[in-house]
Amino acid sequence: METHYEILGVSIDATPDEIRAAYRSLAKQYHPDVNRDPDAGERFIAVQQAYETLIDPDARARYDLALRGGCTTGPHDPFQQYRPGGQTVWTRGFSWNGQAPASWAGRLGVMLLLFLGGVLIVFMLVLSLLARVISGGRRQQDS
């Protein structure tokens, strides 16, 4: 799968002016009105998506982070790649599963938190039972 940088033919540290220049030349080359090649339309869409992502500083930062594997992408992610048939393919690293703590200290912390929550629930039940025993467990009758 090509990255947006490879699609535009620019380096990862390209300036916005270099990205604009690469986009303009590729858009002219692959525009469906100019190029009669059947794959030109799909290539034009890929060039357009790459440009829209890389020209916006915030979107580019998120895309660079996703390329480095620093995050997973969501179901409505703007950094989807398109197959020729029009089907979308998620970028690598997408997962619906949450991440478990990687370290033993993190796992022990989660287990301790669950244990203390259970102890708190049992303590509240015991207090409720003691309050009922002390009060005699009687209900007041309406007169």
pLDDT-derived band of residue 8, with 50, 70 and 90 as boundaries? Answer: very high
pLDDT-derived band of residue 67, with 50, 70 and 90 as boundaries? Answer: confident
What average pLDDT score do residues 3-8 get? 93
Straight-line distance from the first to the last Cα atom of the chain, in angstroms, rounded to the nearest whole number: 80
pLDDT of residue 4 exceeding 60, the answer is: yes
pLDDT of residue 100: 61
pLDDT of residue 2 exceeding 60, the answer is: yes
pLDDT in tens, 89-127: 444 555 555 566 667 777 888 889 999 999 999 999 999
pLDDT of residue 48 exceeding 90, the answer is: yes
What average pLDDT score do residues 118-143 get? 84
pLDDT of residue 35: 86
pLDDT of residue 16: 93
Q: Judge whether 47 and 23 are in contact, CB under 8 Å.
A: yes
- Written in H, E and C, the secondary structure of the chain is CCCHHHHHCCCCCCCHHHHHHHHHHHHHHHCCCCCCCCCHHHHHHHHHHHHHHHHCHHHHHHHHHHHCCCCCCCCCCCCCEECCCCCEECCCCCCCCCCCCCCHHHHHHHHHHHHHHHHHHHHHHHHHHHHHHHCCCCCCCCC
pLDDT of residue 139: 63
pLDDT in tens, 15-47: 999 999 999 999 999 998 888 888 888 899 999
